[in-house]
A and B are shown apart, each in its own frame.
Chain A
Amino acid sequence: MAEIDAVIHQPVRLKIMAALKGLPLNEQIEFVRLRKLVDATEGNLGAHIQTLEQAGYIAVEKDFADNKPRTRVKLTKQGRRAFEDYVAHLRDIIRDTP
């Protein structure tokens, strides 16, 4: 049995990945909206986003909109695959339980 993905297997990061998976392919979400969706504090979300970005699971884009700094996040192809594998692994654990 494959090992569980420790990057995703953390409550806030799992919610981030699932929330991004809920969007259409290549769709970005603003940091502020994501924070409300996963119900995390700004600092907490920032730290987890960094971990996921370092793993190559999400892509972060920073720019300016209406003269205000804006951070947008999206799931990468690698991240989508990793999340699907993670979910499949969880299902295997449940199914394989006698």
Chain B
Amino acid sequence: METPVISPEQAADALKQAAAAEKRSARAYRYQRFAPYLFLWGVIWVIGYGASDLIPRWSGWIWLGLILGALAFSILVGRGAEPSRPKSNWRIALSFTTIWAFIASTYAVMAPVSAMQQGAFPPLVVAFFYILLGLLWTGPRLIIAGVAVGVLTLGGFFYLPQHFLLWEGFVGGGALILAGIWFRRV
């Protein structure tokens, strides 16, 4: 292979191309890593909010089981994706625990007066977390997912109060599942 001679302009252009390809690849990787969690929480929302609407008496236990199951699943997914980096699995597990601890603490202090308020708060926290994570690390797709979750939650809360829990389950959960599929694509 001949050794090429290149001008400073060509060097600058090659550097620009390399930086763009590296950035695109890193971002696609982060999206791919995030996809199973979006899919998982989408399914959880469908089951959890669906149960809260249809069998409210059992919804507390169902949510507890779902959250513990999600935590275990998240650790397993992390382990499968990066067996060489066990610390990142615990980081993910601790992040979820922190979010749920924050939600539980806020309920304890602020005491929501209706099931609707109780149901709307976690998706708003999740939306806030996604937007922040998207801005600081993952990229624009997570910002879009966060905005979608936030807007759908507020829309259901204010304009469809009588069916809010079902709305949150099927529309909010469905949006997360769709986002999970979108995140897997390059």
Does B17 reach chain A (CB closer than 8 Å)?
yes
Q: In the complex, what distance in Å separates the CA atom of A4 from the CA atom of B3?
A: 7
Does A47 reach chain B (CB closer than 8 Å)?
no
* Contact size range, A: 20 to 34
Stretch at the interface among B21-29, B43-51, B132-140, B170-178: B21-29
The total number of A-B Cβ pairs within 8 Å is 80
Query: Which of chain B's residues has its CB closest to A38's CB?
Result: B21
Q: In the complex, what distance in Å separates the CA atom of A94 from the CA atom of B10?
A: 9
A15→B3 contact, CB < 8 A: no
Q: In the complex, what distance in Å separates the CA atom of A41 from the CA atom of B42?
A: 35
Q: Count residues of B near A (Cβ-Cβ below 8 Å).
A: 29
Known A6-B2, A15-B17, A93-B6; judge A22-B11 contact (CB<8 A).
Answer: no
Known A9-B4, A11-B17; judge A19-B11 contact (CB<8 A).
Answer: no
Does A60 reach chain B (CB closer than 8 Å)?
no
User: Which B residues are CB-close (under 8 A) to A87?
Assistant: 15, 18
Q: In the complex, what distance in Å separates the CA atom of A23 from the CA atom of B85?
A: 14
Does B14 reach chain A (CB closer than 8 Å)?
yes
B14→A22 contact, CB < 8 A: no
B15→A90 contact, CB < 8 A: yes
User: Which A residues are CB-close (under 8 A) to B20?
Assistant: 18
B12→A18 contact, CB < 8 A: no
Does B113 reach chain A (CB closer than 8 Å)?
no
Q: Choose among A4, A9, A22 the residue with the greatest number of B CB atoms under 10 Å from its CB.
A: A22
The interface of chain B, by Cβ under 8 A from chain A, is: 1-8, 11-12, 14-15, 17-26, 28-29, 32, 82, 84-85, 186
Top 4 nearest A-B pairs (CB, nearest first) are A22-B25, A18-B21, A19-B25, A22-B26
